[in-house]
Structure 1
Amino acid sequence: MSSINTIRTLVVDDSDFFAEMTADTLTQEHDIDAVAATGASEALDRLESGGFDCVVSDYEMPEMDGLELLDEIRRDNPSIPFILLTGRGDEETASAAIAAGVADYLLKLEVVEDKQYGRLANRIENVVSQDRTRKKFESLVADSPDGIAHLTIDGRILSVNPSMADRLGADADALVDRNLRDVMDAEVADQRIEAGRRVVETGEATRSEDAVGDHHYQNQYIPVDSYRESDTFQLVSRDITDRVERQRKLERQNERLEEFASVVSHDLRNPLNVAQSALDLLDVDGEENADLVGKIDRSLDRMGCIIEDVLTLARQGRTVDDPQEAELETLASTAWNWIEAEQSSLAVESSAELEADRGRVQDLLANLFRNAIEHNDGEVDIEVGLLPDGDAGFYVADDGSGVSEDADEVFEMGYTSSEDGTGFGLAIVEQVAEAHGWSVDLATSAGGGARFEVTGVDLRN
């Protein structure tokens, strides 16, 4: 009887024979650790030592009846399940038992004469299981960092957990029976009470968000069937102030990035277009002038590429708020079609679905493909695949000459070892990764070339 799931039950009756017989039968035939007590006084003495999960008591006893015993037990042990065995099957007795808070009741003659000990054992197991579940739930509620309150639809507080009591600035017991409107901002309280009233009417849980002072909350409203009160609901309120502040910060950052992108697009592209148009109108005389015009033309083209990369960099840094499922192989194939790679090849060794912004991940892959092609002479073979088990992510590797520079240095804006490069390609790769909450690192591939590993990716194999 050492199992933590063992049910220890106290059987109380003024008859030694019945108490012992019931306890022995429950112990030997139904795996319930039952102990007999003759009369109420012995029962109370045994309960003082603790360790019981349930009490089964006769109703009619000379010292005090079963309901009087229950009343005495509730003084020190208000929640232990109590099953009443009664010789009366009338509605008055049943009503009194329910009003007193018994967990269940059975007719004693059915148990004794019809030998329905299995039925009694089932009742004991059921009420103890419910009590254990309730205690576990109450423990979770008490320890929860979320504020939790049980309320009537008119706003009267039936109970609150410590977190909610702290928010309302009062002791939990002192808040019972007070109205929510009287202990917090009345306007917010009215909104919460109205939301609770609606869930009681519809029977369906709902959510809302609100603010009290400088704090923001996400609230869940759940209809509750309570034996104490009708028309009640549970309010679960989570403090999301940090999340809201982060979101606002990101929105401000995105607004600044958009402003920056607009300035670059308007203030730089316009004079560049003017310069390009003027160059087209020049009447080129002589080989020397033609060479100079060619240099100007190439410089203007390079400036256009830089502007385009700067715009991409500004926009790719935004946090991804609405990722969608996409197949890595499809993303890689689409990105490959964006670049000029006549003398190179792409192989996708392994693939999976991932949560991402498709367009931005295609930009990431396209920049890694271009990087491999532009930094190697001749044909280069590029490989895309999933990282080994235990590493959530993917890699892009090539069989080129590799990267001799410091790994962190290559991701810096403006860094390039190619005459035709703008120095923004790998910076864009890093920005896209960070916007998804991923990380990107540079390593050496099996063929001695560059290998970029993107980790922290939510994959769906």
Structure 2
Amino acid sequence: MAYLDSGRITVIHADDEPDFAELTSIRLEKELDDCELLTATSAQDALTMIDETTDCVVSDLNMPGTNGLELLDQVREEYPDLPFILFTGKGSEEVASEAISRGVTDYIQKQPGSEVYTLLANRIENAVEAYRAEQAATATRERYETLIEQASDIVFVVDPNGTFRYLSPAVERVLGYEPAELTDEVGFEYIHPDDRAAAAEEFASVAEEPGGVVSTEFRTLHSDGSWVPLEVRGRNLLENPHVEGIVVVGRDISDRKQRERELELIETLVQRSEDALVVFDPDDGAVQCFDDTACELSGRSEETLRGTPVTDLLAGFPDSAAWDEHVAALRSADNSLYEDELVRTDGPNVPVEINATIGSIGGTEYVITTARESEPAERDVQTLQRRVDRLDELVSVISHDLRNPLEVASGNVELAREQRDSERLDAAADALDRSQALIDDLLDLAGEYQRDNEFQRVSLAETAEECWRTIDAPDATLLIETDRTVRADASRLNRILENLLRNAVTHGPDGVTVTVGELDDRAGFYVEDDGPGIPVEKRADVFDAGYSTRPDGPGLGLTIVRTVADVHGWDVSVTDGREGGARFEVDGVEFVADG
């Protein structure tokens, strides 16, 4: 006979005949694969042996002192469900009937032969299996009851008519009632009149579907007369014999409803605004509500825009840290006016003017933002003004740097004519060469303002190598630490790299090493050298027209770099290199996949 899956069983056998008790032990150990049989020669001995590990008691009827039925009574006082089998040779129908009335598990008469022990072993195994199953069920039930008793949500069971059959203690915390106050009450009577019909219809529908689920919301009467919004989810377990009802879990959603009302108020205000209006959560930057203009301006549907993080919507907030700084600044100021770009999903970014403020509605804090697309004419004026400023710089350079070499050339030519001095003529030639170089650079600068970008896929590495070949610096070394491809105007990218590489070679020591690589913290690239570097106090001036550390230099190389980057939509800056030299960083670049 196979032993129980639940493990070894412990049986106490009480019989005042030692020889018969020993025989029974031998027989049962053969019939049961995994059994510990403990023998007691009296009822009192058996009582001292029974504990929580006992699985079954087998007892004779007639024993001196306390008989088998009296032992049964005493066992039932402490262990009401422990299997107890009366195994006697002096039984009768009257004895069997009395034993059953006292709660005996089974009754077997002793008979000669081995068959009776097979029967006894089978009855023991069946009784223990049922006992252990009931113990497990009880433990599970107690565990679930503990969880339900401690749950913050209300758990209740109703019949098909909506009558409460059980309510968890949480009903007192949420609705102010003791569970006993509502037991046997019809739950629908506590639902708000405006919600009652819909709730009754939902529950009637699920009551007709075994295992069916209902999920709904309604307002429920609190003991103080107020209405508490509940979100409920119920399951039909009417056919489950352990439940025979619809089990419902109800959650108080007062806070959520309050927040929804606040957002509805904001949305009402939003829809009356002519500008795009977007309300953000100050903690995570997620979009809470918005108007139709915001959808149109961002190129997003209502479903897509709701919940979108600010880092995906506004280019000025590349990460959550930037948003946190913005919110902190708003808390210390009334509002913030700034320009940004709205990131569209279906095209280029849209330049916008933004007015942001932080405020509280109903105790909840929000960042309220209005956005207006920058007027094209205004953007054009700003662009033209920047170009005029650049041209003013060029005029200044022309009036100073070009006049000087021409005057030098003119003076030397006059002296050469008078003295027939070849050195004077050489000096004049050098001055004229510098003038020509300056004119070439000025023409390059002017040309950058007169044509549009012609974007294409350009390899940074290949362009850098091509520029390097034009520079006469046999002792210098070029290192390329990028294989990225950018979307750029090829000739303008060439102009930037050539000027930066030439600048590094010109101002660096013999054997200077120049490195071209990709920025780690943003989209862009750098050109850095291991030369002397640029003092911090000079870095703000290096891009100005006419700035140069060489007395004979026109000072336009880095001006060209800045100008080309500007018309390209990029930013250029200077900082320290890793080896102490100068490092020029160009960001705002768009990288593209290879292929």
Q: Mark the structure with the bigger radius of gyration.
A: 2
TM-score category of the 2 structures, normalised to the smaller one? 0.3 to 0.5
- The alignment's TM-score, normalised by the length of structure 1, stands at 0.47
Q: Which structure is higher in helix share? A: 1
